[in-house]
A and B are shown apart, each in its own frame.
Chain A
Amino acid sequence: MFNHCNQRIGQNRNHVPDRCPQMFSTFRVAFLALAWLMAGNHFLAAQDIAISGAKIIPMVGDVIENGTIVIRDGRITAIGADARVPVEARVIKADGKVVVPGFIDPHNAEGMSQANENNPNVPFVSVLDTIDPLRPFFDEARRNGITTVCVSPANSTMIGGQTAVIKTGATFLDDMILQRQTGIKISLSPAAGVSRMGQLAALRKELSEAKKIAFPEEKTDVTATAKPEADKTETPENQDRRRGRGRPENDSPAENGKPNPTDDPKPDEPKAEAKADAKPKTETKIDELKQPMVDLVSGKLLALIHCEIPMDVDHALKLIEDFNLKPVLILGRDCYKAADAVIAAGHAVILPEDLVFWERDPRTNRDAQVIVIDPFRELNAPIAFSTSRSTSDTIGQNYLWYQAALAVKYGLPRDKALAGLTIDPARMLGIDEYVGSLEVGKDGDLLILSGDPLDVNTWVETTVINGRVVYERSKDRKLEILLKGNQ
């Protein structure tokens, strides 16, 4: 069964509200349907599983001591102290263990091959073209309890591309995608050679142009599905730009390498057109390059905005307001100084990997400890944590649960810290319909822990994604070798 975007629905469900790429044809549907059926896809044969005897922290509602949770066809069907276990279910006894929803990493640039794009203005590229499920990141994710991750381009860019949300439990990308186009990564910290002035000016220009297309002045009825205007015809100049050569007069990096708009095909519309006298396959064109930014200012895509320093926060808040963006703020560690503004605006925040650091006061020349979490305790919006495997000096920062424990250490209430691993990132990404808490109807993504999630001695015993066991510590040979060393 397929939705209109040709995504398989079912066990390995791809949740794509209305943001998928527009390439579609009946032929392709038929072909893929056939392929899927012939695939012998083992997701069809997902077992029913039940986890019993555990302390369940559902994140919504009360903690259930000695509870049972039942997953059928990849979704939670029952949860509670008295939940009935179906006869055919595989039962995992979890006495003395703690069950929590799988952790969600809302912003991670690992897991990709060759992700760095030099051109800083590429809203039309997608992380899906470079996610590598065999990278060690995914192995580590399952080992440390991350079941869902929003993969995103890194920070050294202006408009870095489209992010996507994937589950970490499979090896073929199509089996992992939860949401194809979550948002667009924007960074206010400029790449080398560009000043902040230049970066902001270019960003504003792009957003303004998109806004003009999305909400042209003559239309009084501003709908979210406004069609973009047709673009100019092919001139020798455009031809140059299409081929990626030459610098256009206005020197905007956005122009390089774009194929000429008139040559861009319009995606076929989904329709029930099996008629013999079918309409021609080619129709009027939409500029696919501009579509993502149009969706951004129409609120259909999230704006994941990276702020490196406090002044970036002010600019970000202004951009959010001016262009009606739906933001997630990714804060650098110095941005704690702008916490008040963030709290007043009430936007979702992803905290930096350094939750505590030292800074020299320029007036007194004295070093003092800065606790980033402090000013954010008042934030009345979803909050989440970051990890930094590639840059961390300490081992703790590799783990989301460690960051949560550190937050508690420095004053964040425990419940909020646990929420920051689960339901808060789900809310900020708009995927809380499927993940982030253990509730009937949501995806069967959970962790069986050996103890309290924030305890130093707690390990992930089992990781379950969509009702399938994707990791068991007892069988984790790699971890054994890491602990004991390679003899």
Chain B
Amino acid sequence: MNHSFKCRTSFLCVTGKNILSRAQMNHSLLNVGLHPMQRCLLIFLAVTGVSFLSGLSLTSASEPIAIKVGKILTCSDNPEMPEFIADGVILIRDGKIEAIGAQSDIAIPEGYQVVEHPEGFAMPGLVDCHSHVGGTSDLNEMVYPTNPELRNWDQIVPHNQRLKFAIAGGITTVCFIPGSGTNMGGFGTLMKTGPGTLNEVIIRAPGVLKIAQAGNPERQTGEIGSGRMGMNYVLRQQLLEGQMYVRQWDDFENGLAPKPEVNLRLEYFKPLFRREIPVAVHTQQYQVVMATIRMLHDEFNLKILIDHGTFDAYHLGEELAKRDIPVIVGPRGFWLDREVGQMTGIVAEYEKRGVKILGVNTDAPVIPQEDLSFQATMAVRLGWSDERAIRGLTIEPAKALMIEDRVGSLDPGKDADIVISTGSIIDPRNYVTQVFINGKSVYDIKVDKRLF
């Protein structure tokens, strides 16, 4: 992270600095050779332009906020931070959570805009690991079976109509991924659902690699890959190619070998094989999830998350737990085994078998994005524990995506993505009343129309 730009005079420059550092961290688009002040101006125009166009209520970008709320669910793993705070206050500054605690413990400093929700519940913004609604709907580039060169942040439409609904359901972060039409659809993006430029909404790009290990990619043409053996073979070959490429670069960087040629097609394999980003695997049914474990995790040593895990794959719960592999279940939440004849809650089964990082997803638009909390509701109805359910919407998916340093819980230093609702979001009778993303209010039913 390069904080070479210094400018303390203008509040915009402060924001600008944050945006820039994010951009630099993500090797992203803003590769402009501008004077820092020029960059600042550009960003200022962009930000105000966007906020003007979006027409939503926006607190002014840098204004610090204090949210006073009746109950706070922090979902924090920090032993110092309580799980639950009654009559709490959250201080937001510069898009991050500055402080959080009981109102009696924390004084609200001067200049903070105060937002009051005396009867409300506050919780971290919801995180969905499997979403296809972050941009245009042409999800699949299906000419070739593997497409590691494709990246879907080229397709993002920030704050699009479906994401607006998502916000109304409390979802603030999504893993926007290519479709499962091919074995390797491309690299996906971790993004916020709120308004902003591409840079503002992107949390990390490349966010994840998308692999689909059965089903849709099994094409019925004459190529290899119309059956499962061939499909897995093609996948393996592509990963080997990528692995070799990264090793060549590792050797070079360790001074053991000459500089290899840059292969643009394979560049994003670097963070992947260096275990900086995970693979979001479309995998379900026993044999397929078993293949995922054996190939992607055991053989290639990648960070993975099981991004469906439905049907009878829960029988692999122990094997997954042994390896600490996150499981994010959806869109189906139940399985009716013909032999057993019993309706089985899939998430509950994984919990029973010891899977620790466990959550739910929607595979939006298969289930509408805003219905993510309903997925948790159904999972609880079918046996998941209440306590784990809230976490399974927030911090656990954040861990699965390897962005738990940014989102997923209400902890100082993390992004100020906060959802205020009328009660526990697991209870479907409750609804979202206000949502903050990066410290800005992006949805407020007092001002906007209620969307969900």
Contacts and interface: CB of A to CB of B under 8 A. Distances in A.
Complex A–B touching at CB under 8 A? yes
Interface of A: 23, 27-28, 31-32, 35, 38-39, 112-119, 122, 124-127, 129-134, 153, 161, 171-174, 243-245, 253, 256-259, 263-265, 278-282, 288, 478
Interface residues of B, number: 50
A265 B299 CA distance: 15
A170 B250 CA distance: 39
Contact of B222 (A23, A124, A153, A253): A253
A264 B298 contact: no
Most buried by A among B222, B227, B233, B247: B227
A73 to B, nearest CB: 23
Contacts of B294: 173-174
Interface in B176-203: none
Contact of B298 (A32, A112, A258): A32
B323 A245 contact: no
28 contacts: A28-B299, A28-B301, A35-B322, A35-B323, A113-B228, A114-B228, A115-B228, A117-B224, A118-B220, A119-B223, A127-B229, A129-B228, A129-B233, A129-B295, A132-B286, A134-B287, A134-B312, A173-B294, A174-B294, A244-B144, A245-B143, A257-B225, A258-B224, A264-B240, A265-B243, A279-B256, A281-B250, A282-B247
Interface residue SS majority, chain A:
loop
B444 interface: no
Listed from nearest, the 10 A-B pairs whose CB atoms lie closest are A132-B287, A129-B232, A265-B244, A125-B229, A130-B228, A117-B227, A257-B224, A280-B251, A118-B226, A114-B228
A16 to B, nearest CB: 15
Given A134-B287, A134-B312, A172-B319, A115 B241 contact: no
B82 interface: no
Contacts of A130: 227-229, 232, 287, 291
B110 interface: no
Contacts of B290: 132-133, 172-173
B248 interface: yes
Contacts of B20: none
A37 to B, nearest CB: 11
Most buried by B among A114, A126, A243: A114
Contacts of A27: 301
Contacts of B19: none
A175 to B, nearest CB: 10
B229 A115 contact: yes
Interface in B273-325: 285-288, 290-291, 294-295, 298-299, 301, 312, 315-316, 319, 322-323
A131 B291 CA distance: 9
B287 A256 contact: no
B359 interface: no
A116 B226 contact: yes
A114 B286 contact: no
A124 B233 contact: yes
Most buried by A among B218, B222, B230, B339: B230
Contacts of B214: 113-114
A118 B250 contact: no
A281 B247 contact: yes
A332 B95 CA distance: 73
B42 interface: no
A126 to B, nearest CB: 6
B227 A116 contact: yes
Nearest to B235: A129
Interface of B: 143-145, 214, 218, 220-234, 237-238, 240-241, 243-244, 247-248, 250-251, 256-257, 285-288, 290-291, 294-295, 298-299, 301, 312, 315-316, 319, 322-323, 339
Nearest to A36: B322
Nearest to A258: B224
B229 A265 contact: no
A282 B228 contact: no
Given A23-B299, A31-B301, A244 B228 contact: no
Given A116-B227, A119-B222, A281-B251, A39 B315 contact: no
Contacts of A478: 339
Contacts of B257: 280, 282
Contact of A112 (B218, B228, B243, B256): B228
A153 B256 CA distance: 43
B287 A117 contact: no
Contacts of A161: 229
B291 A129 contact: yes
A160 to B, nearest CB: 9
Contacts of A278: 256
Contacts of B229: 115, 117, 122, 125-127, 129-130, 153, 161
A386 B202 CA distance: 58
A172 B316 contact: yes
Given A112-B228, A113-B214, A117-B229, A263 B223 contact: no
B244 to A, nearest CB: 4
A243 B144 contact: yes
B223 A256 contact: yes
A31 B303 CA distance: 13
B227 to A, nearest CB: 4
A133 B286 contact: yes
Contacts of B144: 243-245
Contacts of A281: 247, 250-251
A278 B322 CA distance: 31
Contacts of A174: 294
Contacts of B323: 35
Nearest to A263: B241
A190 B328 CA distance: 44
Given A114-B227, A257-B225, 8 more contacts: A35-B323, A129-B228, A245-B144, A257-B145, A259-B237, A259-B238, A280-B248, A288-B237
A161 B288 CA distance: 19
Contacts of A127: 229
Most buried by B among A38, A39, A112, A280: A280
B223 A134 contact: no
Contacts of A257: 145, 223-225, 230, 234
